[in-house]
Amino acid sequence: MSAKLPVEILIETVVETGLCTRCGTCVGACPAKNLGIGDPLGACLPVAAEACTSCGMCLDGCPGASVDFAPLEKGLFGDAVPNRLLGVVRGAYLAHASDAIIRRNGSSGGVVTAMLLDLVGRGESKGAVLFAPHREEPWRGWGRIASSPEEIAAAAQSRYHLSPLNTALGEMRDAKGDFAYVGIPCQIHGLRKLQAALWRPAGIRLSPIIGIYCGNNLYYEATRVMLKKLGVRRPEDVAALSYREGVWPGSFVARTADGVVRSISKLDFNQVIPFYINRRCLFCIDLANELADLSVGDGWAKEGSGGDGWSVVLVRTETGERVFDGAVRSGVLEAEPITVEAAERMHSHAFDLKKTGAFLRLGLWKGWGCAVPRYDRPGPRVTAGRRFFEVVLSLQFAAASSWVGRAVFRVLPARALGRLFRFLRKRWMRSTARR
Ligand SMILES: Cc1cc2nc3c(=O)[nH]c(=O)nc-3n(C[C@H](O)[C@H](O)[C@H](O)COP(=O)(O)OP(=O)(O)OC[C@H]3O[C@@H](n4cnc5c(N)ncnc54)[C@H](O)[C@@H]3O)c2cc1C
Ligand code: SF4
Ligand code: SF4
Ligand code: SF4
């Protein structure tokens, strides 16, 4: 019997077991162009043709079934000791774009877009690998290389649906020069695993690697259902779609071709999470994008301070420091230093979900017969009460994402459920911030 091809192992052990994060790394890494993403608005999973040359890159770069942080951290940060919640941190800040339009158009403070525009404007980067609105289908994002300031500015804001960004790495074969890169943690885990496996497209350098925080991601169905709840029949009727438009933290806003505008606030949009979260995200232990040169998330410490959005920024490497300090010095960013404890506190509920809850879920769901990923990190010690809470939370996730749960969700009123979710988030933030 002939040995299995690496791509067959990938499909069997990651895709078919439900461990795929949808990062797109396997597709972008394949020199034979043997992999593609099937049905991006559906399951959004890699599918293989029959041109495999057995190089193994797809399997080496895949973060779905395992991530060993220690060797990757050693290569990136040397002997620096990572903080348990945040990873390696050289400096922590609250920041936003100095330009009011970039700030207003961003998800939180427009920091990512301002830094990219600064890098390209100064000729340090030829462009950026990022997740932008699709040219022909504006209701969804896609991974691409953006070179002009207009393309970079148009990519601002988070798109909360499965995002196989790293498929764009395949396009890098024809590029030359230095490019920045922006991604969520699993996309950067894939990229770092590839780099550790000596994946090097000739003539290009990816730097800086800008990481955005990620609590979870959603099947595209979440967007479809929310559009319906707001009175937009199908995504194809949408001429422009944003998830974080307007005053921070912004709103999910759909504009149809015939001029109708429908919206719901971002915090109320969160009601879709239990029903449409990618199952693999329940087992993800990285919120703050620990393998990036610098990380950017919502600066919740400034929530309720009125007006402008703020981002939290964690600088991790010399490269990250040079880029961030350069943007502050050139007046592109306004920034104030904060303590590591403040950075931990403002995301206490999300750290509870990923740095305590995820480790408990790994054991719990494995016991229920589900495939779970493997990490080289132990979880924290927890109380019996926290364990019990996790069982309740896990049962809630399982019930909400069942077909019955989703059927019920589809008929529940969006505004009332949104208010309930907002209330529960506040309670969770308060209770975890006290610990
Ligand atoms: C799926 C997802 C979940 C997130 N969860 C959290 C969270 O729990 N807590 C938190 O503090 N922050 C979270 N964020 C990050 C947050 O929404 C902002 O992206 C971050 O604060 C940076 O804001 P900004 O205004 O500086 O960036 P902007 O200037 O708005 O730039 C955002 C950049 O993000 C890129 N991007 C958009 N969508 C995606 C995507 N799906 N995949 C990869 N790149 C993308 C764009 O290309 C753009 O360059 C999440 C983001 C995403 C995409
Ligand atoms: S050619 Fe290499 S990267 Fe492509 S599918 Fe085969 S093993 Fe994977
Ligand atoms: S590399 Fe990413 S997209 Fe490909 S199988 Fe692994 S997790 Fe899924
Ligand atoms: S929670 Fe983790 S696995 Fe899920 S999309 Fe975010 S980074 Fe990827």
- Tens of pLDDT, residue by residue over 317-345, are 999 999 999 999 999 999 999 999 999 99
Token pair in block for residue 356: 């305590």
Cβ–Cβ under 8 Å, residues 94 and 335: yes
In whole angstroms, what is the distance from residue 408 CA to residue 342 CA? 39
pLDDT in the model for residue 66 = 98
Pocket of ligand 3 from Cβ distances under 6 Å: 10, 14-15, 20-26, 46, 61-64, 164, 190
Verify whether ligand 4 is closer than 6 Å to residue 21 (CB atom): yes
Check pLDDT > 70 for residue 435: no
Compute the distance from residue 50 Cα to the ligand 2 centre, in Å.
Answer: 10
Answer whether 47 contacts ligand 2 (Cβ < 6 A): no
Q: Mean pLDDT check: name the lowest of 162-176, 213-227, 339-353.
A: 162-176
Section 278-298 average pLDDT: 98
What digits encode the pLDDT tens for the residues 73-108?
999 999 999 999 999 999 999 999 999 999 999 999
Other beta carbons within 10 angstroms of residue 133's beta carbon come to 18
3-state SS class at 222: helix
Query: Is the distance from the beta carbon of residue 125 to the nearest atom of ligand 4 less than 6 Å?
Result: no
Q: Which tens digits make up the pLDDT trace of 193-202?
A: 999 998 888 8
**Mean pLDDT score, 342-359:** 96
pLDDT digits over 360-415, tens only? 999 999 999 999 999 999 999 999 999 999 999 999 999 999 999 999 999 999 98
pLDDT, tens only, 107-156:
999 999 999 999 999 999 999 999 999 999 999 999 999 999 999 999 99
Give the model confidence (pLDDT) of 206-246 as tens digits: 999 999 999 999 999 999 999 999 999 999 999 999 999 99
- Ligand 3: distance of its center to the CA of 94 in Å? 33
Q: Check residue 383 and give its pLDDT.
A: 96
Taking 60 as the threshold, does the pLDDT of residue 1 lie above it? no
Average pLDDT of the segment spanning 267-275: 96
Average pLDDT, the chain: 95
Pocket of ligand 1 (CB under 6 A): 106-113, 130-132, 141, 155-160, 163, 165, 182-184, 212-215, 217, 296-298, 311, 350
Q: Which atom of ligand 3 is nearest to the CA of 24?
A: 3
CA of 51 to the centre of ligand 2 (A): 8
Cβ contacts of 380 within 8 Å, gap of 6 or more: 84, 355, 356, 359
CA 315 to chain centre: 18
Which residues have a Cβ under 8 Å from the Cβ of 400 and sit 6 or more positions away? 274, 275, 406, 409
Q: What span, in angstroms and rounded, lies between the C-alpha atoms of 290 and 314?
A: 9
Q: Which residue is closest in CA terms to ligand 2's atom 2?
A: 55
pLDDT at 283: 98
Q: Which ligand is nearest to the CA of 127?
A: 1
CA of 404 to the centre of ligand 1 (A): 31
Amino acid at the residue 151: E
Burial 134-169 (b: 16+ CB within 10 A, else e): eeeebbbbbbbbbbeeebbbebbbbbbbbbbbbbbb
Q: What is the pLDDT of residues 10-53, one digit of tens each?
A: 999 999 999 999 999 999 999 999 999 999 999 999 999 999 99
Query: Is 278 close to ligand 4, i.e. is its CB under 6 Å away?
Result: yes
Closest residue to atom 5 of ligand 4, CA basis = 217
Distance 287 CA to ligand 3 centre (A): 19
Mutate to test the pocket of ligand 4, among 278, 285, 295, 372 (most ligand atoms within 8 A of CB): 278
Instruction: Choose one of 52, 60, 169, 199 to mutate for the ligand 2 pocket test, by most ligand atoms within 8 angstroms of C-beta.
Output: 52
Helices of type H across 241-287: 266-269, 273-276
Q: List the one residue out of 365, 424, 326, 377 whose CA is nearest residue 82.
A: 377
pLDDT exceeds cutoff 80 at 416: yes
Substitution candidate for ligand 3 out of 15, 16, 191, 199 with most atoms within 8 A of CB: 15
Indicate whether 307 pLDDT > 80. Answer: no
Q: Strand pairing of 204-212 and 238-245? A: unpaired
Q: Residue 434 — pLDDT band, cuts 50, 70, 90? A: low
Tell me, in angstroms, the distance from the centre of ligand 2 to residue 24's CA: 13
